[in-house]
Structure 1
Amino acid sequence: MKHTPGERPTDPTRRALLTATAGVGAALMAGCARGAAPGAPAPTPTAAGSASPTAGAGGITPGAMTLFQDPAYNFSALLALGASGAGAAEVGEVLTAVNTVNAAGLSPQTYVETFRKLGDRLLRPPPGAPADDQTKRFRALRAAQYYGQALFFVLGSDAPGSEEQLYRSGRKAWDAFCDLCEPAPVKAQVPYGTTPLPVWFFRPDTSGARRPTVILTNGSDGQNVDMWTYGVPAALERGWNALVYDGPGQGRLLFVDRIVFTPTWEKVVTPLVDWLTARSDVDPDRIALTGLSMAGDLAPRAAAFESRIAALVAMPGCVDPWLGFPPEIRRILTPDKQQTNDIWNNEVVPELPPAAAATMKKRFEPFSIPAMLEARQGRLFTDFYTPATRIQALKITDVVPLIKAPTLVLDYEGEQFYPGQPREMYNALTSPKDYVRLTAQEGAQLHCSPMAPQLHCEVVFDWLQQTLQGS
C-alpha cells in the first residue's frame, strides 16, 4: 500500500458492468459493490459484450484470480472468495460453484441458480451429527453471502420477479446468523421519515462498558453480510461496537419498502447517531463513520453536516457517482425530461442487447421504484430522466471542504468505478486527512479490495484506533 501522511492545509484546496452497445455509442456501466467500471486503462470488450480492465495473465486479475472470463461475474465471485476469511463464505464452496457455473455455461441464469441452491442447502441440516449453534450460525452467514451473489444477477435471469423473495431469503439467513451470535446484536428500528431504519448493534460483550463505535455504511447494491466482512469482526476484536444498518435505496428499504436513495445522507446518519448517543455503552465522543463502495460518497456527505462524527473513512473516496457512468450514457441526460426520455426510448433502448439491458435495470433500480418494478416484470424502464437526475444529485464536490472530522481516503490499484476520485476527494479535504492506496502487489487491487478484506480492515481500524485514541 502507498500512504500519504495527513496534512491540514490552510486553504480549501465507486463487477465489470460496463457494456458497449451498438448505435448511439452507448456504453453502460454500474455504480458500486457488485460490479466494475473501467479503470484508468481503456477497457477491453469481451465476447459477452462487457468491458473492464483486462483479466488473465498480466492483467489486473492474473492467473488464478480469473474465475470467470466475464469480469462482471469474476469481480462478484472474488468478493465471495475474499469473504472466506471472515467466515462469510467457504473457499471450497465458492470454487465449486464457479466450476459448476463454468461447466453449465456462464449466464445470469446459471449463476443465480447455482448460488441460490447453495444458499438453500446451507440452511438445511449438514451431513453427520446434528448441527450445534456455531455450525448453524456460520452456515447461515454463508447462505446470506450466496443469496446475495444470486440477487445481484437475478434481473437478468429467467425469473426477475423472484428478486424480492431472493432478498428475503438472504435477509432471513442474516437474521438467523445474528440471533446465534454471542452476544446477539441488538436489533432496533431507528426513526426515519415514515419508514424506520433497521439496525443491528454488535457489541464485544454485555458488560455495558462505554466503547468507541463505528457506523458501517453499505454501498448501492451490497447486503448486510458485506458489512460483516468489511468491519464487524474487526471492530469487535478491537473492543469496538459496530452498527450495521439499511438506509434508503438499500436492503429492506429498497427491495421491500420501496424507498430509493437520498442525496441528503446526513438525514439518515443523524438519527443513527441520536440512537447511539442515547446508549450508555457508546462513547459519544468516539463515533466513527465508514462508507464502502458508493457509500464513499454517502458517508462523507453525512459527516459534513453531522458534527458528532469523530472520524470518517471513505472506501474509496467518491465525489460524483454520475461520473461512474461513461460519457455516452451521461450525454443521454438533457435538461428536458421529454427530450431525454425520447432519446433513451427511441435511440438507445431498441439497440440494447439483453446483457446491457440487464445492466441498466440493475444500475437504476436503487434510484427508481418504477424501474425496479418494471425490471421484475422483465421490462426495461422508460423513464431515464428521473433516476439519472437522482444519481447526479449525489455529487458532493462542494461539500467535501465542509468536513471537519479527520478523514481517511482509500484508493485501489485498478479502481474500476471511480478512478481518480479518491485523490480528488483527498485534495479537497480541509480537515486532518490521510490517503492510502491498496495495491496489486498486496493482492488488494480492484474496487474495495475484494480479495483482501482482512488487509482492508487492518488499514481502516489501525487508522481509527490511532485517530481516536486521544479523543
Structure 2
Amino acid sequence: MTCPSRSRFNEDVQFDYETRLALGSVRHGGADAGEVLATAAAVADGDGERWFTAWAELAARTAERAGHSAAEGRTVSARDGWLRAAGYAGTALVAADAVAGPAGRPAELFREHRTWFDRFLRACDPPAEPVSIPYGDTTLPGYLVDPPGGSGPLPTLIANNGSDGPLSSVWTMLGAPAAARGYRVLLFDGPGQQSMLFDRGVPFRPDWEHVITPVTDFLLARPGTDARRIALAGVSQAGYWVPRALAFEHRIAAAVADPGVVRVVDSWWHQLGPELRGLWESGDRDTFDGVLREGLAQDPALAATWHWRARPYGIDSPFDLLTEVSRYDVTAVADRITTPLLITDPDGEHFWPGAARELYDLLPGPKRLVRFTEEEGAHLHCEPMGRALFEQRVFDWLDDHLTLP
C-alpha cells in the first residue's frame, strides 16, 4: 500500500500515517505538535519495537506530569495532560504485535491508556458520565459527554470507532467537535473494539445493526435525548458498519461514513495481491494458510500488521479469517438505507480506494459525497491532517439535517 504525500515522517507506511493522525489530534488537545515531531523523528526508521517503546515512554512521562498537576489542584493542566497521555499510548499500541519480551506489556499499556482517558473525561466540564449499554447478556462500556452549558433535549452524536483506533482518537476526531457545537456525544466500545476486545475477548461482528439498535434504545431511554435528532458517525472501518446499521435501524436522523466502505475485505486484498487472492478463491485452505504463514515468517513488519488487524476477528487460520472478513459487505442491503448519509472521499484513500463513490452510487435515499483533496491538505484515509476542513463540511451538513422546523 502507498500513501501519496510530498514528505514522510516514517519509512513504514502505517507509522507515517499514525504520525499524521497524532498531529491532526493537536486541534482538540490530543497531542502536542512538538512532542509528536520529536518522538516521530526518533523512530523514523519504522522499527516496531522502538515505535512502541518511544510512544509508551512519552505517554508515561505525560501522565506523570498530569498527575503532579492534579495533586497541586491544577485542573486544566491535569485534564490536558491526561488526554495527551491517552493519545500517545494509543499511538504506541499500533505496534503492539511487534513488541518482544513480556507479553503483558501492550495489555498493561492499554489499561493505562483507558485510565488516563477516563481521568480526562472526568475532568471535563461537565464531567463525562460512564455508562453501560445493555447488549445481549452483557453490556457495552461507554461515556456520555454533554456539551458545556447544555440543557434540555439535545441532539446526540453516536461516535462509532473503527477497527483498531483508540477511543481517545474518536474523541478528537468526532466527539470534541460535536460537543463544541452543542451535541451530546456517546462514545462506546462495540464488539471487537478496545475494551470489548482487550478486556473481554469479544470479536467483531458484521451485522452491526445488532450493535447500533441497542445503542439507540439506550439513548432513547435517557432523559434529555431528542429522539428526532440522533446522528451516527463512524471513522475508518465504521465506514462499513454505519451503512450496514442504517439498512436496518431507521431511527437515526442523519449519518456520516468517513470514508465510505462497501467490502471490508478489499483493504486486505490490496496488500496481499492477486496471486494470494486467486489461491484463496481456489478454496485450497491448507495451501493458502501455509503460503501466507511462510510469508509472514519472513517479514516481521508485515506479520505485526497482520496480527494487529486480525486480532479483533479472533480467527487463527488466514483462510478462515479472510472468509469471515468477506462477510462484511454492504452491497446486498444498501438499497434499504433511507437515512441521509454523508460519505467522505479523500484523495489517497489507501485502504478502500474507490469505495466511497461505489457506496454513494448504491444508495437510493438522500446522500452526499464530499471530496477532500491533497491540494487542501485534507487527503488520506480519514483526513488525518485536514481536521478543521473536515469538521466544517461534515458538521455543517449534520446541523442542517438535525435542525427542527
- Alignment correspondent of 1:354: 300
| Secondary structure of 1:263 counterpart | coil
How do 1:321-470 and structure 2 match up within 5 A? 321-326=264-269, 327-334=274-281, 336=283, 339-345=284-290, 347-352=291-296, 353-368=299-314, 381=316, 383-470=317-404
Counterpart Cα distance in 1 of 2:225 and 2:278: 47
State the alpha-carbon separation in 2 of the partners of residues 328 and 225 from structure 1: 38
Residues of 2 paired with 1:302 and 1:296: CA distance? 11
Q: For 1:344, give the aligned amino acid.
A: D
Q: Distance in 2 between matches of 1:91 and 1:305?
A: 42
Deviations 1:238-264 (CA, angstroms, capped at 9, x unpaired): 111111110001010111100111011
Task: State how 1:261-276 maps to structure 2 within 5 Å.
Answer: 261-276=204-219
More helix, by proportion:
2
Counterpart-to-counterpart distance in 2, 1:328 and 1:166: 38
> 1-side partners of 2:304 and 2:109: how far apart?
17
Residue 281 and residue 206 in structure 1: after superposition, are their counterparts in 2 closer, same or farther (change >3 A)?
A: farther
How far apart are residue 71 of structure 1 and its match?
Answer: 1.9
TM-score by length of 2: 0.93
Measured against aligned partners, the alpha-carbon deviations of 1:102-144 in whole angstroms (never above 9, x if no partner) come to 3xx5400111000000110111136899461111111111111
1:384-436 Cα deviation digits (max 9, x unpaired): 23322221111111111110111111110011010110000101111111110
2:129 paired with 1:182: no
Cα distance, 1:330 vs structure 2 = 3.3
Q: What 5-or-longer segments of structure 2 have no aligned partner? A: none
SS of match in other structure, 1:408: strand
- Higher relative contact order (CA closer than 8 Å, sequence separation 6+): 1
- The equivalent of 2:40 in structure 1 is 98
Paired residues, what number? Answer: 396
1:312 pairs, out of 239, 252, 255, with 255
1:216-235 pair list within 5 angstroms:
216-235=159-178
Q: CA deviation at 1:152?
A: 0.8
- 2:254–2:401 Cα contact (<8 Å) kept: yes
Judge conservation of contact 1:88–1:141 (CA < 8 Å) in 2: yes
SS in structure 2 of the partner of residue 264 of structure 1: coil
Alpha-carbon displacement from aligned partner over 1:251-287 (angstroms, at most 9, x marks no partner): 1011110011101101101111111111221110110
State the SS of the aligned residue for 1:393. Answer: coil
Q: Is the 8 A contact 1:216 1:245 kept in 2?
A: yes
SS in 2 for 1:447: coil
Match of 2:246?
303
Q: What RMSD over aligned residues (CA atoms) do the two structures have, in Å?
A: 1.8
Mean Cα deviation higher: 427-436 or 226-235? 226-235
Query: Alpha carbons of 1:445 and 1:93: their partners in 2 closer, same or farther (altered >3 Å)?
Result: same
Question: Which amino acid in 2 is paired with 1:357?
Answer: A
Alpha-carbon distance between aligned partners in 2 of 1:351 and 1:264, rounded to the nearest angstrom: 32
The amino acid across from 1:217 in the alignment is N
Distance 2:208 2:12 in 1: 34
**Cα–Cα, structure 1 residues 69 and 343, in superposed 2: closer, same or farther, change >3 Å?**
closer
The residue matched to 2:186 in structure 1 has which SS?
A: strand
- Aligned counterpart for 1:155 among listed residues 97, 119, 137: 97
SS of residue paired to 1:234: helix
CA distance in 1, matches of 2:242, 2:262: 11
CA distance in 2 between partners of 1:165 and 1:333 (Å):
36
Contact 2:96–2:308 (8 Å) recurs in 1:
no
Query: Which letter maps to 2:240?
Result: D
1:198/1:329 CA distance change after superposition, 3 Å: farther
- Paired residues of 1:189 and 1:198 also in contact (CA < 8 A): yes
Are 2:223 and 1:280 aligned? yes
Percent of matched pairs sharing the same residue: 36
One-letter amino acid of the counterpart of residue 403, structure 1: I
144-153 or 449-458, which deviates more: 449-458
* Corresponding residue number in structure 2 for 1:111: 51
Secondary structure of the residue aligned to 2:397 is: helix
Unaligned 5+ runs, structure 1: 1-37, 39-51, 54-59, 372-380
Q: Work out the CA distance in 2 between the residues paired with 1:157 and 1:132.
A: 35
Q: Tell which deviates more after alignment, 326-335 or 149-158.
A: 326-335
* Partner Cα distance (1:139, 1:291) in 2: 26
The two structures have a TM-score, normalised by structure 1, of: 0.81
